[in-house]
Amino acid sequence: MVLLEDNVAVHCNGRGERAAWGELVSVGGLGPEQNATLYLAISEILEEKLNIPKSCIYLRFEDVKVWVVHLILCRWAIYLLLVCSLKPLPP
């Protein structure tokens, strides 16, 4: 999923240059080598297409463990069942 927001006040080096902030979250599979490869590819696209200098591109990488995702989904399902009083769909 990609979400782009325009006209957001993000500045680089205090000079008002165009900048980009991004977060990449993966369920397993991210590591230092993958992060470096992804950063290079994404920063080249942002520099070429949006004129954002590579020095003003900030990317945050997070590798979420599978069990954390399952826990979040289970809690969300319990919330929907209890709080929203959802009934199971008929077979």
Backbone φ, ψ for residue 66 (5° rounding): -60, -40
Contact 19, 11 (CB under 8 A): yes
Q: What angle do CA 28, 32, 35 make, to 5 degrees?
A: 75
Each residue of 8-67: pLDDT tens digit? 777 777 777 788 888 887 767 778 888 899 899 999 998 998 888 888 888 888 877 666
pLDDT of residue 69: 57
pTM confidence score: 0.61
Alpha carbon of residue 31 to chain centroid:
15
